[in-house]
Amino acid sequence: MSGRVRAGLAQDFAAALAADFAEHGPAAIAELRTNKLDVYLRLVAAITPEPDVPQGTRLSDMSDEDLAHTIALLDEWKAAQG
């Protein structure tokens, strides 16, 4: 499959998904959270941006300032989750 075809399919799928979400989003999310919590949590993890921490960073190697920044990012993420 060529890159253009793949990009077009991805764009069409994203548009269909957006339309479906606009119509059924909140109810579908609530149902998913209630009936399939594992799938709901995987979805949340998949769409949640990762904290701004360099790959492979060990906590013991981080400065106090870096640790404080990471904790602040995690606190923001947690607050956004509700």
pTM (2 d.p.): 0.46
Cβ atoms 56, 37 nearer than 8 A? no
Q: What tens digit of pLDDT does each residue of 9-65 get?
A: 999 988 998 999 999 999 999 999 999 999 999 988 888 887 766 666 677 888 889
Q: Give the pLDDT band of residue 5 (cuts 50, 70, 90).
A: confident
pLDDT at 30: 92
35/25 Cα distance (integer angstroms): 15
Q: Give the pLDDT band of residue 6 (cuts 50, 70, 90).
A: confident
